[in-house]
Structure 1
Amino acid sequence: MAERSFAKEVETLRIGDGEIFHGEGILAVTKALLQSGVSYVGGYQGAPISHLMDVLADAEPLMQELGIHFEASASEASAAAMLAASVNYPLRGAVTWKSTVGTNVASDALANVSSGGVTGGALVIIGEDYGEGSSIMQERSHAFAMKSQMWLLDPRPNLASIVDMVELGFQLSEASNTPVMLELRIRTCHVYGSFTAKDNRAATFSLRDAMENPVRDTGRIVLPPANFAHEQEKVAKRWPAAIDFIKSRRMNEFLGAATGDVGIIVQGGLYNNLIRALEVEGLSDVFGKARLPIYVLNVTYPLITEEIVAFAPIRKRCF
Structure 2
Amino acid sequence: MSAAVQAKSETRLLLSGNEAIARGVWESGCKVAAAYPGTPSTEILENVALYPDLYAEWSVNEKVSLEVAIGASMSGARAFCAMKHVGMNVASDAFMTQTLAGVVGGLVIAVADDVGLSSSQNEQDSRFWGRFAHVPVLEPADSQEALEMVKLAFDLSEDFNTPVLVRLTTRVCHVKAMVTVGDRSARAVSGFKLDARRWVMTPANAKGMLPRQIEREGRLRQAAEASALNVVEPGTDTRIGFLTAGPAYMHVRESFPDSPVMKLGFTYPLPVEAIRAFRATVDRLVVVEETEPLMEGELKAAGMADVVGKDILPRLGELTPNVLIPAVYGLRGETPPAAGTYPKIDPFPRPPTMCAACPHMGVYYSLSRLRKKVQISGDIGCYTLGAGAPWNALDTTISMGASMGIALGMDKARSEETKDKAVIAVIGDSTFLHMGMQGLLDIVYNRGNVTALILDNRSTGMTGGQDHAGTGRDLHGGEAPRVDFAKLVEALGVKPERIRKVDPYMLPVVFKAIKDEIAVHEPSVIITDRPCVLSEFYDRFKPYKVVDEDCTGCGNCLNVGCPAIFVTRSETKTRADGKVNDLKFTTIDTAMCTGCHMCVDSCGPKAIIPLAPVSA
When normalised by structure 1's length, the TM-score is 0.82
Partners of 1:120 and 1:30 lie apart in 2 by: 18
How many residue pairs get aligned? The number is 285
Distance 1:81 1:250, change over 3 A: same
What amino acid maps onto 1:232 in structure 2? Answer: P
Task: Please say if residues 40 and 174 of structure 2, whose CA atoms lie closer than 8 Å, have aligned partners that are also in contact.
Answer: no
- Matched residue, 2:247: 269
Partners of 1:82 and 1:258 in 2: CA distance: 50
Deviation, 1:181, is 0.9
- Relative contact order, higher structure (CA 8 A, sep 6+): 1
* Residues in 1 aligned to 2:227 and 2:241: alpha-carbon distance in whole angstroms: 23
CA distance in 2, matches of 1:248, 1:14: 35
Question: Do the aligned partners of 1:176 and 1:239 also contact (CA within 8 Å) in 2?
Answer: no
Of 163, 173, 183, the residue aligned with 1:179 is: 163
Residue 143, structure 1, aligned to residue 128, structure 2:
yes
Aligned-pair distance for 1:259? 7.0
| Number of the residue aligned with 1:225 | 204
Residue 107 of structure 1 deviates from its aligned partner by 1.0
Alignment partner, residue 395 of structure 2? none
CA distance in 1, matches of 2:73, 2:17: 29
- Larger mean CA deviation between 124-133 and 168-177 belongs to 124-133
Which structure would you say has the larger Rg? 2
State the AA in 2 paired with 1:146: R
Which of these residues, 283, 296, 306, is aligned with residue 263 of structure 2? 296
Root mean square deviation of aligned Cα: 2.1
Q: Could you tell me how far 1:258 is from its partner in structure 2?
A: 6.8
Deviates more, 1:304-313 or 1:70-79: 304-313
Query: Residues 307 and 258 (structure 1 numbering): CA distance in 2 closer, same or farther, change over 3 Å?
Result: farther
SS at 2:251's partner residue?
helix
The code of the aligned residue for 2:116 comes to G
C-alpha separation in 2, matches of 1:103 and 1:241: 25
Are 1:43 and 2:35 counterparts?
yes
Structure 1 residues 249 and 299: CA distance shift in structure 2, 3 A: closer
Q: Deviations along 1:5-56, whole A, 9 cap, x unmatched?
A: xxx225x524337722222222111111111010110101111011223223
* Structure with the higher helix share, 1 or 2: 1
Give the alignment partner of residue 169 of structure 1, picking from 128, 153, 157: 153
Q: Which aligned pairs between 1:74-153 and structure 2 lie closer than 5 A? A: 74-85=60-71, 88-99=74-85, 101-131=86-116, 133=118, 135-153=120-138
C-alpha separation in 1, matches of 2:55 and 2:33: 6
Contact 2:153 2:164 in 1 (8 A): yes
- Contact conserved, 1:128 with 1:184, CA < 8 A, in 2? yes
The CA deviation string for residues 156-211 of structure 1, in whole angstroms up to 9 with x for no partner, is: 12x22111111111111111111111122112112211222211233322xxx52x
* CA distance in 2: counterparts of 1:243 and 1:17, whole angstroms: 39
| Secondary structure at the counterpart of residue 16 of structure 1 | coil
Match of 2:187 among 195, 203, 227: 203
**TM value normalised by structure 2:** 0.44
SS at match of 2:261: strand
The 8 Å contact of residues 33 and 79 in structure 2, kept in 1 or not, is answered as yes
Structure 1, unaligned stretches of length 5 or more?
Answer: 1-7, 284-289
How far apart, CA to CA, are the structure 1 residues paired with 2:156 and 2:274? 18
Residues 86 and 310 of structure 1: CA distance in aligned 2, closer, same or farther (over 3 Å): farther
In 2, the alpha carbon distance for the partners of 1:300 and 1:139 equals: 17
Quote the Cα distance in structure 2 between the aligned partners of 1:263 and 1:17: 42
Q: Is the 8 A contact 2:23 2:48 kept in 1?
A: no
Aligned with 1:312 (options 256, 275, 279)? 279
Mind listing any 5+ residue stretches in structure 2 that lack a counterpart?
287-616
Structure 2 contact 70–79 (Cα < 8 Å) conserved: no
Give the match for residue 5 of structure 1: none
**For 2:251 and 2:119, how far apart are their aligned partners in 1?**
15
